Structures are given as C-alpha cells and as structure tokens.
C-alpha cells in the first residue's frame, strides 16, 4: 500500500491522523517538524506527504518547494492540512505545487477520499 | 535596579558623623529606594497575576487562523554573523504568525554573511522602491528570493553605520506593515513571540473620539482627539542562551548559564524584567522596551524619528521620544510588558565584553537624561516626566555615584577610626538581607508564569547567586557604570558597533 | 546554655528600645527580609513540587484518554460503516472505568476532547461531542458556570461553546454585557454560535466596545459556524451607535460581499474619524462598488493621507477603468512617495490593455524614482 509521510507539530493530530490512515491500510510515517520531515524524505520513498504549514525548523511551504524542486521527488503528491486561513498563504501553497489544501478542523472522511483520489490519479498518470 | 541599595550602609555612617541635614537626605534617599523596590515587587506580583488570569482562557490559535491579523515586520540587523546566519534566519521564518515579513539588514559585514543568505535562500537583487523615511547610512542593494517558499524574507545590504540603531532604521524604511518587531539576528525567539506581543495591541479599547474643531464643509473632516490609550510598544522578558540546549536556532531545553558571569546576568535580567518592567506595567510607567525584543507601532515610531544612531541607549531613547511625541500631541498611550520569556540572547562571558556593555549602558542612561532633561519632573509629560524620569534620574543615574562616593567615604572613616562598628554592621546586614530578599522574590514571581528550568537544582542554583551578588557582581556594575559616566563626561569616541557585536558573534559561533 | 541564650536575647530586647530609630527599623527589616526569603524559597520548592505532581498525573492519564478516544471515536467501526452519529453507542465498559469519576481526570478529559475538536469536524467532531455528553461532562461544565469566579465561568462558557452545547438565553444574555471584558467576549461568542434564532441580537444592545482581539474570535465563529443565519449587516452600519460594532460589520460586509450594503457604507464617508473613514473606503473597494467611485475621487483632494491611499487602493480594486487618468496624474505628479506607490499599484491592478499602456507610457517619460516604483510594483517577487 501507499507510503504516506505526515508532518505535523501537534502530537494529538499526528497520532490521530496516523490511526485513521493506518486503519485504511496506508503505511504511515510521522515527522514532528520540518527537519524530521527532510530527514525522512531522504531515507525512503513516499507516495504522498500530508503537511502542516506552521512548524519548527522549516514551514510547510518549504517542504513543498523542496519536494517540487527535486527531480527525484517531484512525483510525490502533497496535501496541506493547516489551520491557517490567510488566503495569500493558501494561494502560495498551491503556486508552489501543493495538490490539495484542507483547513482544520478537517473531516476525516473527506481526508481519506482526497487521498484516495490523488493516489488513483497518480496511478492513472503512471500507466499512461 | 539594585544599583544603589548599598549606598545605604554608607548612609549609616554618615548618620553618625555628619550633620543632620546630610544624614536625613541620605537616609530618605536610601529608605525611599528600598521602599520603591518593595512597592515594585508588590505591583509586579499583581500585574503578573492579572496577566495569568486574563490569559489562561485566551485561545491564541485564533489569530493564526484569522484573515484579520495585522501584519508585522520582523527587523533583524546582522553584522558578521556568517556562521549562524542561516539557522537564525530559518528560525525567524518559522515564527508562528499568519502575516509577517523578515527583514535582515546586512550592516556592511566583512565576512560571508550576505553570500550565505543569497545562496541558501536563492536570493536575487531587485529594484526596490526604497524610501528614506528615517535617517541611516546608504542602502546599496535589496534582495528577494526567487523561491516563493521564502517570500517572507527581504535582505537589505547597507553601508556599515557603526550602530544597531542605524541598521534598524534601514529596516523600518523597508518594512511594509504597520507594526515592527525589533530584534537581533543572534537572538533566539520563542515561536509564539509575535502572537504574544501583538495581543496587548489588540486588547486596546476602540477609538473614542472627541472633536476639536469645525467640520470641513467639503468632506466632513475635522480635527479629532483620541480618548483611548494607544499601545505604542510591547516587550517581554529576555534570558541568557549561554547554557541552553539549542538545535538549529531552536531552544530545546532552558538552563541557567553554567559560568558565573552570565549566570549573574540571568538573575539580573529576570529581576529587571519580572520585577522592574512588570511592576511598572501595572501603573502604565514602563520606562523602556529592551533592544533585544520589542514590538512597536510603526506610525508612532516613525513620527518620533526612529532610532538615534548616535545614542548609546537607543532603545530607551526611542521609547522616550515616542512617549514624548504622544504627550506633545496630547494623546494617551501605554507601553505593555508580557511576563513571559520570549527571547534568548547571548550574555557576555568575558569581563572585557561585559564591562564594555555595561559602560555603554551607563553612558546611554546619562545621555538620555541629558538629552531629554526637559522631561524630568515636567508635569506636562505625565507619568513619563513625573514617575519614570524622576525615578530613573534619582535611582538609576545617581545611584552608582552616590554609592561610589559612599564607599570612598566609608573607607575614609575606617582609616581614621571614626566608625561605629555595631551600627555599621547592622546596617550592612540589613542592606544585604534586603537585597537578597528582593532578588529571591523576583525569581519566585518568575516561576509563577512558567517553569523554565526543568530541575529544582538549577532553580536553586540560580537563586543562590543572590547571596554572592553583593560581593562580586554588584561592585563590578558600579565600577563599569562609573567608567561609562566618565566616558560620557569626557565624550570619548565609541566603537561599540564593531566590537560588541563581533564579540557576541564569536562566542556564539564556538557554541552552536 | 539555653538560659544564657534567653538572657542574652532578653538583654538585647531591653536595650533595643534605647537604640536610635534607624537601627530599630533596620533591625526589624532584617528579620522581615530573612523571613520573606525563607518563605520565597519554600514557595519556589513547593510550587515546583506541585507542578511535578501535576505533570506526572497528566503523563499518566493523557495516553489513557487518547487511547479511549482513538478506540471509541477515531476508529469507531460503526462510524466507518456509515451509521448516523446519533445512533452510535459507545462501549460501556471502558467508559465506566472508576478513574473517570475523578474530577481532575474529567477536567483533563474535557481539555483533550476540545483539542480533538479543534482538529476534527464532521462525523468525528460530532462523535467527540457525543462522547462528551455521554460521559456527562456537560454537568461538570455547567457546574463551573454557577461559581462566582469569573475565570471559572469563562472556562465553562468556552467548553460549552467548543462542544456546541446550547446555553439558555437567560443564562448567557446577561453575561454578554458583563463589566468584565473577557467574560463579555466569550459570552458574546457563545451567544452567536449557540443561539439558533437571533444570533446577532446583541449587536443591537451592545454598549461596550468590541475589542480588536474579540473581533478575531467572533469573525472566526461567524464564518465557520454551520447554518448560521447571515443577516444584512448594513442595518448596524446605519443605526448602531457603537463604533466598534460598525467597524466590525464593515469587515463582515466585505467578507460576505454584501453589495446591498454599499449605500449604507457610502454614508460613512462623511464620518469625522479619519481612521474609520479609511476603513469604509477600504470596504467599498473590496465590494468593487463602482457607484462609489465618483464620490471617492471627488472627496479625494480633502482627505488626510491614509484616506487618500485607501481611495487609490479602492479605485484599483474597483478597476472600472474610468479613473485611470486620475491615477496616472497622481503617479506622475504627486509629491508623496506612498501615494505614487499606491497609484501605481492601482493602475497595475486594472490588468487591462489600457492600464498596461499607461504603465509603459509613464515608464518612458517619468523620472528615475518613479521608474523604480513601477518596477517594484511589477515585480512578482515583491508582494508588499
């Protein structure tokens, strides 16, 4: 099943998302901040990254930009999950290459559907 | 703050020997000072508890989510910080706030500070419509990142102006938002700094307006007077970063400094911020917002003329001018302090750097008192004139002098054998125990808001410094202050800009 | 030996009266200082001990609570099968654990549930709420409402609001005008979120100002609460005497793009407070109020700087194209830097062939500083 990296500095949310995604059969890896995320991105291959925006060491925008500017990691889909409501930041996230944006509080069902859809689209693109 | 408590024992011997007039004057001086400390301790306890009560239920996340959050420009001058600049800028860029920019001013560094920034953050020079609202040395180039992830970052390259004030002014000129946070690039900020410091600005009562003149018939414009108190600046506690565990510009564990000199400073900072600033906050008399960390209302700061590059105490100088500006325009204002430590700074570890810093502070105080002498005891300036300036003139500026002369006189008495030993000893013990008490109370108040140190041993270790302070640390401060005054009177040239900041940087580079 | 000491002290006491006053004072204060220092030390240690115990308790209970919530809510089988939240019953065994009877555990539980609610809405959010109700934590919150201490009341109101539990109007309405600003703010928010019929009623009766910070919270609640009836905010613009409410309504009007409010907002252009007028102009710009444009340009001359800049911005947002000449004139001839900057931005904002032509033309004819201003505004790397 797909490998998903969850980057989030709120422990409660981190664990909750892990539980929800694991239950659906995804292989979930956790990172508590930007630095951990970069380390873990180096060491394994992922299909999708779920990231918060405001975190220590490196914020979500940097995570997106780092991924999208790296030819080897460009293919990884990115969903931003954040409580930031500032429209400029959201636009910025999309401009840098985020695939989706969910505003906290999120709906667990919606998150799962979006992940499924993104991964399915990737599969189609791959097969073409 | 305690700078002059010790003068009291000298006062005791004067009492025995000199005429009644002088005796009474010194006695009143000392007694007033000690009572002022006790009063400050009581006021600061009240204001800290108020703060805690009020903020216990505040949901700070709301500002992060809100599109209504006011913008803040973070201004951090850098001079030869090549080794740590990247980490520190990264840490500034990850502050928790929805709408801010980070302005790094490269103050004519001679190392690779600028190159590193350009390379790491993919910066290019842009045509920036720069306007000199405040005086400063020439801004040569302005850089922005081509990577949108670093949109918040602006790097300003300027000719070295020999002072932090000059660089900060350039930063204010470039800044786009209504508020600016002034800090140092080598300070480490708590990630919630902006949220915690903007809050007092937003707790302000909405503008209530009184009309002063006639309507303009065309547009209805009329001179108006604001009846609310406008918050013009906020600040928070600073601590020493020296022995803290730091990971890439983020504090992972707070510890009091191991070495004695910075540890004394940590104790002194806590006392000055927690007891001093928070106490003054209660009666709206905050004298100063520290140069290491302060959030300012840009409109007022610019109208007051910004930082003065020639000042030795540019932070207090700016606050004074902002306050005077408000009073001159008959507006009410307030300066707020937050009893949380939001900024960690490197304290000097060598006597040389420390001495230079303190002499500069003392010189700055003398300079401010002489430049703004019209404010001292001037009822037109309200609290600023009648309380802040009177207090600082009497108990901050004069204290080291009174104390220094007192000690000389005391020695003279001992030599000539005119001393009443039992009384002198009682008075010395009194001043000693009293000063230990005040310091210990400050450290206790500090524990109310947050338990910064993990172990009780660290806490007690810091508390015990209060017992040593009167013998070791305090005499040093008096000595360096006198040196500063001497420099002020003789008008010796200053070179702090290069030296002090280079000093800081070098120590830090070894550590991190 | 004891006797000697007592004698000595007695003698000292007898002689004390003959000492000079300042020595007496000093002596007494020495005693006070020593006692105070000792007390301070003990309180520091005691407080630390308290905090230590508290932390230990939290470390013990939080994982338990998180497991419970994970099991019962996040991974609830019935929820994933699509059973409506109301019909889901929790497993009674873990819920009836004795530990959940303790008051402090219940408080931690409430806090943890609120944390989860901040992250999840939808079914999961509803189920969290059901857990709160089923564990009868509602009672704990209402109990806190009854105390006299305002900080406890505030906590109670916040908990109930977060959990979306209705509070009767009789209880909450008096609190919305409480003299305590903090209690007032949370009560108002609760009222807006929880009152089903007339959430904005207190806008009519509020006499106390709505602080900027409270506006943040209220804005969030208004814009995120489901099925809240959004009224036409222009009625308070016209009739409220509470300035902060009017200012807040301006922001809401802009957010909900209530074009019908334009005439009411235009009336504010006569207001005497220029900060306030600037906000009204800003609102008109956000509403793209083309009919207001004539008026804005007409009053422009007599406005203070902040209003002038807002007018230029508004013209840029309305972007009708009718006043490009006016903007061009300001860009070329204004002596004020900020005005030229705002005018440039406004022209660029039009984003039309005509505006592009103007920019090009000015670029070729104007002096160096203006050229840099134009370059600055055109540069996509510079946002501000």
Total domain count, chain B: 1
Chain A: give the shortest CA distance to residue C114, in Å.
11
Nearest Cβ partner of C220 from B27, B62, B151? B62
Query: Which of B266 and B7 is assigned the larger pLDDT?
Result: B266
Each residue's pLDDT tens digit, C341-375: 999 999 999 999 999 999 999 999 888 889 999 99
| Dihedral of the alpha carbons of B157, B163, B168, B174, in degrees to the nearest 10 | -30
Chain A: give the shortest CA distance to residue B67, in Å.
5
- List Cβ neighbours of C178 (8 Å cut-off, separation of 6 or more): C184, C187
pLDDT at position C95 is 82
pLDDT at position B507 is 38
- List Cβ neighbours of B250 (8 Å cut-off, separation of 6 or more): A56, A57, B91, B188, B191
Banded pLDDT at B29 (limits 50, 70, 90): confident
In a domain? residue B133: no
Q: Is A15 in the B-facing interface, judged by CB distances under 8 Å?
A: no
Q: Is A91 in the B-facing interface, judged by CB distances under 8 Å?
A: no
Considering only CA atoms, give the Rg of chain B.
24
CA pair distance C142, C163, nearest whole angstrom:
12
pLDDT at position B218 is 47
Q: Is C84 in the A-facing interface, judged by CB distances under 8 Å?
A: no
Question: What ranges do the domains of chain A cover?
Answer: 3-127
**Cβ distance of A56 and B191 shorter than 8 Å:** yes
The whole-number average pLDDT for the span B231-247 is 92
Beta strand pairing call for A77-82 and B293-297: unpaired
Q: Residue A127: pLDDT above 80?
A: no
| HSE of B378, CA atoms in CB hemisphere, 13 A | 12
- Inter-axis angle of helices C103-119 and A11-23, nearest 10: 70
CB C240 within 8 A of CB C268: no
In DSSP terms, which residues pair with B229 in a beta bridge? Answer: B332
The whole-number average pLDDT for the span B285-314 is 93
**Cβ distance of C48 and B459 shorter than 8 Å:** yes
The model's pTM: 0.89
Q: Residue C291: pLDDT above 70?
A: yes
**Cβ distance of B98 and A35 shorter than 8 Å:** no
Q: Name every chain B residue with its beta carbon within 8 A of the beta carbon of A89.
A: 98
Q: How many Cβ contacts (< 8 angstroms) between chains A and C?
A: 50
pLDDT at position C250 is 94
**Cβ distance of A105 and C115 shorter than 8 Å:** no
In a domain? residue B76: no
Chain A: give the shortest CA distance to residue C61, in Å.
14
CA pair distance B348, C102, nearest whole angstrom:
51
Q: Name every chain B residue with its beta carbon within 8 A of the beta carbon of A85.
A: 65-67, 98
Chain A: give the shortest CA distance to residue B282, in Å.
34
Q: Residue B447: pLDDT above 80?
A: yes
pLDDT at position B214 is 53
The whole-number average pLDDT for the span B393-415 is 87
Q: Residue B209: pLDDT above 50?
A: no
Percentage of chain B beyond pLDDT 90 is 63
Q: Residue B304: pLDDT above 90?
A: yes
Q: Residue B227: pLDDT above 90?
A: no
Q: Residue C201: pLDDT above 90?
A: no
Query: Which of C208 and B178 is assigned the larger pLDDT?
Result: B178
Banded pLDDT at C255 (limits 50, 70, 90): very high
In a domain? residue B94: no
**Cβ distance of A12 and C121 shorter than 8 Å:** no
Q: Residue B208: pLDDT above 50?
A: no
Each residue's pLDDT tens digit, C210-230: 888 989 989 988 888 877 888
- List Cβ neighbours of C257 (8 Å cut-off, separation of 6 or more): C286, C287
pLDDT at position B206 is 44
Q: Name every chain C residue with its beta carbon within 8 A of the beta carbon of B462.
A: none
Each residue's pLDDT tens digit, A106-123: 988 899 999 999 998 888
Each residue's pLDDT tens digit, A26-36: 999 999 988 89
Each residue's pLDDT tens digit, C120-152: 988 889 999 999 999 899 999 999 988 888 889
CA angle at residue B240 from B237 to B245, to 5 degrees? 115
Question: Which of C31, C35, C38, C44 to substitute to test the interface with B, most B CBs within 10 Å?
Answer: C44
The whole-number average pLDDT for the span B99-122 is 94
Q: Residue C165: pLDDT above 70?
A: yes
The chain C residue lying nearest A23, using CA atoms, is C75
Average pLDDT, chain A: 89
The whole-number average pLDDT for the span A82-88 is 82
For B46, B209, C88, C309, the CA distances from B67, given in Å and listed in that order, are 34, 27, 37, 21
In a domain? residue B188: no
Q: Residue C42: pLDDT above 60?
A: yes
Percentage of chain B beyond pLDDT 70 is 87
pLDDT at position B493 is 59
The whole-number average pLDDT for the span B149-169 is 93
Beta strand pairing call for A27-31 and B139-145: unpaired
**Cβ distance of C122 and A109 shorter than 8 Å:** yes
Q: Is C173 exposed, middle or buried (0-12, 13-18, 19+ CB in 10 A)?
A: middle
Q: Residue B3: pLDDT above 90?
A: no
In a domain? residue B333: yes
Banded pLDDT at B20 (limits 50, 70, 90): low
Chain C: give the shortest CA distance to residue A40, in Å.
24
CB B227 within 8 A of CB B331: no
pLDDT at position B109 is 92
Q: Residue B4: pLDDT above 50?
A: no
For A71, A74, A98, the CA distances from A125, given in Å and listed in that order, are 17, 14, 17
In a domain? residue B444: yes
Average pLDDT, chain C: 89
Q: Name every chain C residue with its beta carbon within 8 A of the beta carbon of A12.
A: 66, 112, 115-116, 119
Q: Residue A55: pLDDT above 90?
A: no
In words, the CATH class of domain A3-127 is alpha beta
Q: What is the distance in angstroms between the CA of the first residue and the CA of the last residue of chain C?
A: 82
Banded pLDDT at C1 (limits 50, 70, 90): low
Q: Mind giving me the DSSP string for C261-284?
A: GHHHHHHGGG-S-HHHHHHHHHHH
Banded pLDDT at A88 (limits 50, 70, 90): confident
Contacting partners of chain B (3+ CB pairs under 8 A): A, C
In a domain? residue B381: yes
Q: Name every chain C residue with its beta carbon within 8 A of the beta carbon of B126.
A: 376, 379, 381-382
In a domain? residue B500: yes
Chain B: give the shortest CA distance to residue C323, in Å.
20
Q: Domain range holding B396?
A: 1-70+205-289+308-512
CA pair distance B112, C184, nearest whole angstrom:
54
Chain C: give the shortest CA distance to residue B506, in Å.
34
Banded pLDDT at B18 (limits 50, 70, 90): low
The dihedrals phi and psi of A54, each to the nearest 5 degrees, come to: -95, 110
Chain B: give the shortest CA distance to residue A90, in Å.
11
* Selected residues 118-147 of chain C with any CB under 8 Å from a CB in chain A: 118-125
CA pair distance B496, B314, nearest whole angstrom:
13
pLDDT at position A4 is 94
Q: Name every chain C residue with its beta carbon within 8 A of the beta carbon of B433.
A: 29-30, 33-34, 37
Each residue's pLDDT tens digit, B145-158: 999 889 999 999 99
Nearest Cβ partner of B206 from C217, C244, C373? C244
Nearest Cβ partner of A15 from C66, C122, C123? C66
Q: Name every chain B residue with its beta carbon within 8 A of the beta carbon of C303.
A: 219, 221
């Amino acid at each position: 099943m797909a490998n998903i990296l969850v980057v989030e500095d709120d422990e409660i949310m981190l664990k909750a998302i892990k539980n929800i995604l694991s239950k659906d059969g995804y292989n979930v890896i956790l990172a508590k901040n930007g630095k951990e995320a970069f380390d873990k991105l180096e060491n394994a291959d992922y299909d999708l990254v779920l990231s918060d925006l405001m975190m220590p060491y490196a914020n979500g925008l940097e995570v997106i930009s780092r991924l999208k500017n790296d030819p080897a990691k460009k293919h990884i889909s990115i969903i931003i999950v954040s409580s930031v409501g500032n429209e400029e930041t959201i636009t910025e996230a999309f401009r840098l290459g985020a695939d989706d944006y969910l505003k906290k509080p999120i709906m667990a069902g919606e998150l799962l559907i979006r992940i499924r859809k993104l991964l399915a689209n990737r599969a189609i693109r791959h097969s073409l | 703050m305690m700078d002059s408590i010790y003068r009291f024992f000298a006062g005791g011997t004067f009492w025995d020997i000199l005429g009644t007039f002088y005796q009474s004057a010194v006695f009143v001086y000392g007694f007033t000072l000690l009572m002022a400390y006790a009063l400050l301790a009581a006021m600061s306890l009240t204001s800290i508890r108020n703060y805690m009560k009020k903020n216990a239920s505040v949901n700070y996340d709301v500002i992060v989510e809100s599109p209504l959050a006011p913008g803040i420009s973070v201004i951090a001058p850098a001079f030869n910080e090549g080794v740590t600049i990247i980490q520190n800028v990264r840490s500034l860029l990850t502050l928790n706030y929805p709408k801010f920019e980070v302005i790094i001013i490269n103050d004519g560094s001679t190392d690779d500070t600028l190159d590193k920034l350009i390379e790491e953050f993919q910066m290019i020079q842009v045509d920036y419509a720069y306007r000199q609202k405040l005086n400063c040395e020439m801004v040569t180039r302005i850089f922005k990142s081509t990577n949108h992830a670093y949109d918040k970052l602006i790097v300003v390259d300027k000719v070295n102006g020999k002072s932090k004030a000059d660089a900060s002014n350039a930063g204010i000129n470039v800044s786009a938002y209504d508020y600016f946070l002034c800090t140092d690039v080598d300070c480490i900020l708590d990630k919630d700094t902006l949220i915690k410091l903007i809050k007092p600005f937003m707790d302000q009562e909405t503008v209530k307006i009184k009309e002063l003149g006639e309507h303009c018939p065309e547009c209805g414009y009329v001179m108006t007077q604001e009846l609310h108190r406008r918050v013009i600046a906020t600040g928070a506690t600073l601590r020493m970063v020296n022995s803290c565990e730091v990971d890439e510009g983020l504090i992972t564990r707070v510890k009091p400094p191991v070495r004695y000199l910075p540890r004394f400073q940590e104790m002194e900072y806590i006392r000055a911020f927690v007891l001093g600033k928070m106490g003054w906050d209660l009666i709206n008399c905050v004298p100063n917002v520290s140069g290491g960390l302060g959030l300012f209302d840009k409109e007022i700061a610019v109208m007051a003329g910004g930082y003065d590059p020639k000042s030795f105490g540019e932070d207090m100088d700016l606050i004074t001018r902002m306050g005077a500006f408000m009073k001159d325009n008959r507006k009410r204002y307030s300066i707020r302090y937050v009893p949380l430590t939001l900024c960690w700074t490197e304290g000097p570890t060598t006597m040389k750097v420390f001495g230079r810093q303190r002499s500069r502070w003392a010189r700055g105080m003398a300079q401010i008192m002489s430049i703004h002498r019209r404010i001292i005891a001037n009822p037109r300036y309200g609290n600023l004139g009648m309380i802040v300036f009177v207090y600082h003139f009497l108990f901050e500026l004069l204290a080291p002098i009174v104390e220094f002369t007192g000690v000389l006189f005391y020695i003279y008495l001992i030599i000539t054998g005119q001393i009443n030993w039992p009384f002198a000893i009682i008075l010395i013990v009194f001043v000693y125990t009293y000063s230990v008490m005040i310091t210990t109370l400050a450290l206790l108040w500090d524990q109310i808001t947050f338990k910064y140190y993990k172990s009780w041993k660290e806490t007690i270790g810091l508390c015990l410094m209060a017992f040593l302070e009167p013998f070791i640390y305090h005499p040093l401060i008096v000595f360096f202050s006198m040196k500063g005054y001497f420099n002020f009177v003789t008008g010796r040239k200053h070179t702090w800009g290069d030296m002090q900041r280079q000093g800081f940087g070098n120590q830090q580079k070894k550590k991190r | 030996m004891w006797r000697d000491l007592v004698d000595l002290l007695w003698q000292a006491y007898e002689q004390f009266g003959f000492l000079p006053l300042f020595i007496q004072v000093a002596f007494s204060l020495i005693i006070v200082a020593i006692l105070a220092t000792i007390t301070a030390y003990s309180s520091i240690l005691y407080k630390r001990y308290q905090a230590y115990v508290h932390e230990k308790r939290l470390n013990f209970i939080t994982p338990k609570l998180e497991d419970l919530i994970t099991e019962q809510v996040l991974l609830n089988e019935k929820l994933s099968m699509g059973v409506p939240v109301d019909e889901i019953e929790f497993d009674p065994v873990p819920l009836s654990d004795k530990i959940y009877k303790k008051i402090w555990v219940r408080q931690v539980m409430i806090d943890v549930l609120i944390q989860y609610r901040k992250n999840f809405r939808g079914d999961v959010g509803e189920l969290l709420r059901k857990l709160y109700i089923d564990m009868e934590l509602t009672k704990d919150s209402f109990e806190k409402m009854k105390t006299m201490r305002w900080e406890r009341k505030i906590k109670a109101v916040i908990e109930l609001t977060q959990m979306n539990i209705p509070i009767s109007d009789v209880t909450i309405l008096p609190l919305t005008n409480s003299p305590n600003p903090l209690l007032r703010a949370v009560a108002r928010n609760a009222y807006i979120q929880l009152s089903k019929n007339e959430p904005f009623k207190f806008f009519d009766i509020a006499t106390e100002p709505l602080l900027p910070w409270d506006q943040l919270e209220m804005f969030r609640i208004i814009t995120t609460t489901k099925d809240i009836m959004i009224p036409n905010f222009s009625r308070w613009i016209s009739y409220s005497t509470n300035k902060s409410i009017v200012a807040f309504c301006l922001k809401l009007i802009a957010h909900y793009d209530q074009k019908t409010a334009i005439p009411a907002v235009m009336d504010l252009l006569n207001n005497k407070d220029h900060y306030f007028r600037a906000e009204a102009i800003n609102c008109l710009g956000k509403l793209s109020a083309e009919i207001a444009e004539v008026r804005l340009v007409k009053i422009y001359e007599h406005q203070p700087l902040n209003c002038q800049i807002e007018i230029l911005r508004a013209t840029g947002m309305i972007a009708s194209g009718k006043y490009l000449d006016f903007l061009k004139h300001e860009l070329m001839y204004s002596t004020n830097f900020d005005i030229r900057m705002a005018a440039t931005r406004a022209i660029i904002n039009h984003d039309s062939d005509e505006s592009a032509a103007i920019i090009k033309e000015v670029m070729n004819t104007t002096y160096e500083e203006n050229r840099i201003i134009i370059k600055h505004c055109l540069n996509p790397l510079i946002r501000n």
